[in-house]
Amino acid sequence: MARHLFITEKTTIPVGHHKIKLLILKPLALRPHPVPGVLWVHGGGYQSGSAKDIFATRALSMVVKFGMVLVAPDYRLSKKHPYPAALHDCYAALLWLKDHAEELNIRTDQLFVGGESAGGGMAAALCMLAHDRGEVNIAFQMPLYPMLDDRDTASSADNHAPNWNTKRNHKAWKRYLREAYGTDIVSEYAAPARRKDYTGLPPCYTYVGDIEPFYQETVDYVKHLQEAGVEAEVDVWPDWFHAYDIFFPAKKEVREAIAHFEDHVGYAIEHFFAPQEGDPPVREYTPTPPVCDKDGH
């Protein structure tokens, strides 16, 4: 298997009166052409976790295998900062990614977003907010088993699967939404499943387990995208609980899921573009050949 090297950098950006840290992963070898840029949002029910969690997720392969540049925000957590603090932080990070594309060697017409769990929910919310504001265009979204709906669904109600269940889900949403929880005033940027019009959102790939709480909302999200004419696909893995792929990365079916994910990333690199206002015409992208060691691995 090809071994790619990457470097880690950190920076701080202002968000209103606050500042947040960004973790930046770059391929060690400078590419001869700009590469896609990825904003990857960590999970944790909006209440825990940090940017460094991405090292155990699918995020790393986009740098390691595809030579992309990745930015992960350390957004404010709901224990002290409920919605919309995290959304403001992640959107600011997305704008920073766009505005610093040249120095990062990033293609402005290939800005991707993704994340697992709450990070996946945030990725979907960012796609909606970016579309509605028109300040930045996203080419592709990867919200893996995303946290999208504050209301109980067929799979999140009375769910007692390992790792994440109904009780934990309710607690996390109450903490994130505070006084809005359980009402009809919840914003679609907080709970993307509440959106009515999915037209114009970026193409999407995701996967989810069929025994976890987020199964139904993930499948519904992809269905709504498809009905709106958006290219979208979901793989459903039997008997997977929440974040199963992170717990068991060596299992055969997980390796198969990872391969499916990477196939879709490769497809997106070759086919999905979203030029920013004022960008030159889309240029053909040729993936950089993998960097191998002296034994050809």
SS3 track for 128-154: HHHHHHCCCCCCEEEEECCCCCCCCCC
Task: Say how far apart CA 187 and CA 23 lie, in whole Å.
Answer: 28
- Class for the domain spanning 6-271: alpha beta
pLDDT tens-digit profile, the chain (297 residues): 344 578 999 999 999 999 999 999 999 877 889 999 999 999 999 999 999 999 999 999 999 999 999 999 999 999 999 999 999 999 999 999 999 999 999 999 999 999 999 999 999 999 999 999 999 999 999 999 999 999 999 999 999 999 999 999 999 999 999 999 999 999 999 999 999 999 999 999 999 999 999 999 999 999 999 999 999 999 999 999 999 999 999 999 999 999 999 999 999 999 999 999 877 655 544 444 433 333 434
What is the per-residue burial (b if ≥16 Cβ within 10 Å, else e) of 205-237? bbbbbebbbbbbbbbbbbebbeeeebebebeeb
- Looking from the CA of 164 toward its CB, the CA atoms found within 13 Å total 28
Entry pTM: 0.93
Task: Considering only the C-alpha atoms of the chain, give the largest distance between any 2 of them, rounded to a whole number of Å.
Answer: 60
Contacts of 16 (CB under 8 A, 6+ apart): 88
Alpha-helix residue ranges (DSSP H) falling in the chain: 59-64, 85-99, 101-104, 118-133, 166-177, 215-227, 244-247, 252-271
Bridge partners, residue 41, by sequence: 115
Task: Say how far apart CA 122 and CA 184 lie, in whole Å.
Answer: 20
pLDDT recorded at residue 286:
44
Task: Say how far apart CA 133 and CA 125 lie, in whole Å.
Answer: 12
